[in-house]
Structure 1
């Protein structure tokens, strides 16, 4: 989570820097706009890729936690069944 926030911050800073640099550049307006559009599209693509990777990692963690939770439930149910069996054995005495 911290890595993805840092990555988003870095990419956002790069976009702002690119925009300021291009707006201050002594080029024709059309060329500047084309460069700005290309750079923005490139950076947006990188950001989307980073977000997809973060989402995939998050989903892996969700699946891992779900599996651990299911295993815990199974273990708890087994313990409850064992206790019920012991209780029945004690009641028979």
Structure 2
């Protein structure tokens, strides 16, 4: 979550800086608007890429947690079976 905020902050600052720089640039309006559009599209593309990477990482982490939980469950079931078998052995001794 923190990484996403940092990425968004950096992209927002870059966009703001670019727009301010272009607005004060000594070029005509058409060129300035084209540059703003191009830079905005680039920043949007970068943001989408960053969000997709974050989504992939979140999915991977969720899968790892799921697998780890399954391993704990399996270990608990095996341990319960051991206790059950031991208890049966002890009962059969009497």
Which has the larger displacement, 2-11 or 44-53?
2-11
Q: Following the alignment from structure 2 to structure 1, what is the Cα–Cα distance between the partners of residues 27 and 48?
A: 30
Structure 1 length-normalised TM? 0.89
State the number of aligned residues: 93
1:47-86 to structure 2, matched below 5 A, reads: 47-86=47-86
Shift of 1:39: 0.2
Structure 2 length-normalised TM? 0.88
Structure 2 partner of 1:11:
11
Name segments (4+ residues, structure 1) moved above 6 Å. none
Q: Following the alignment from structure 2 to structure 1, what is the Cα–Cα distance between the partners of residues 59 and 5?
A: 17
Structure 1 partner of 2:90:
90
Shift of 1:5: 2.3
Q: Following the alignment from structure 1 to structure 2, what is the Cα–Cα distance between the partners of residues 64 and 29?
A: 52
Corresponding residue SS for 2:26: coil
Q: Does 1:35 align with 2:13?
A: no
How big is each residue's C-alpha offset from its partner over 1:70-92, in whole Å with a ceiling of 9 and x where there is no partner?
00000001111111111222222
CA RMSD of aligned residues (A): 1.3
Which has the larger displacement, 29-38 or 82-91?
82-91
Shift of 1:4: 3.1
